[in-house]
Amino acid sequence: MTILVLNAGSSSLKFRLFHMETLRPLMEAEEVLAQGKVERLGTEHARLTFRESESSTPRTEEIGAVALADAVAHLFNLLPDSVQTLDAIGHRIVHGGAQFHTPTRIAAATLTALHALTPLAPLHNPAGIAVIEAARQLRPDVPNVAVFDTAFHHDLPEIAALYALPRELSERLQLRRYGFHGISYRAVSERYFAHRGVPAEGSRLILCHLGNGASVCALRDGRSVETSMGFTPLEGLIMGTRSGDIDPGLLLYLIEQNHFTVEQLANLLNHQSGLLGLSGGSSSDMRDLETAANAGDTNAELALACFAHRVRKYIGAYSAVLGGVDALIFTGGIGEHSATMRARICYNLDFLGLALDPQRNADANGTEPEPIGAGDGLRVWIVPTDEERQIARETYALLKETQ
């Protein structure tokens, strides 16, 4: 079975073409026929990088200020002949609301329902929907499947999912903590269990997905029981440009005393805050901030310290929720590649058995599951995420089930 995965972000589009014959325990089993990404969408400097296989030399071309649909059409033209026998196209959709909590084959009614969820994830869902619509127009003969970031957290215990609002209001408007990064958490946890050859049953894990968007998840028996993002992806950790946790009274103050409109407040919290805001506007990129901090930039140092503090605070809270931790796992761009930030986060976590081995941490390359903890190393891990592969696996399973 040949499956194309399209993973749309607010300004990027990652894609990978898989050949799959069966689902195997190790996630590396599927053959990658082509892969690449489009970056800086919406600017005049949009760039497409393409590989004909995982091991081939990438080629890059500037594609200019193209719309998302045009970028999809462009990459379709680059795909190998195997795309002519495409069996399915899998998509990442960030917010599935209360309605969507399993992989779903796309029909006209599905798209209507997804459009209605746009206010819940305005930075993410519109891009995912636009890519689905473009793919359906380009290849109307091929089924499209949506896989949802919120699905992994669908069964959160009520004590973790509910906000302390009037029950009638919450039930009528479906106000609850949905959680995000679920595709990544499922991929990483399954890869961890397969790599170690241990069962999910009885396990207590804390996973930190750290990138421009960042969250933490507590897993018991391989299932999500707590997670830092909530009704939207804005709650929780400090992120690249998102504020994370903030006193709602502060927001009311800004509206009442400083006359912020809803639109201005949304822009402030989603685009001007987080690492970007704390650093004084210098950058939202962890790599830039670490370079600046090493050169003596006190604002950059403060931003990094605040980021690590917030993650560490959640790790402590989730250790209490789980009643102990078997392993702390880092994933995502920052989690996989920033040894400095991992060290900052694990500072003073020795009492939980989550101390790092400095040499293992420094030497880790973030391409394979690696233990980096002190002692036997097995209490702290890096496990690279692979959302595209996970989407392909869930798309494959749905098609096999419905055949």
Q: Is 149 labeled as catalytic in the residue annotation?
A: yes
Question: Of 193, 224, 196, 199, which is closest to residue 209 (Cα–Cα)?
Answer: 224
Question: Of 275, 294, 297, 298, which is closest to residue 286 (Cα–Cα)?
Answer: 275
Contact 290, 169 (CB under 8 A): no
CB under 8 Å to 181, separation ≥6 — which residues? 149, 209, 213, 215, 217, 227, 229, 332
Catalytic residue among 149, 155, 288, 326: 149
d(CA 241, CA 227): 20
**Which two tokens mark 66?**
């193209």
Cite the active site residues: 149
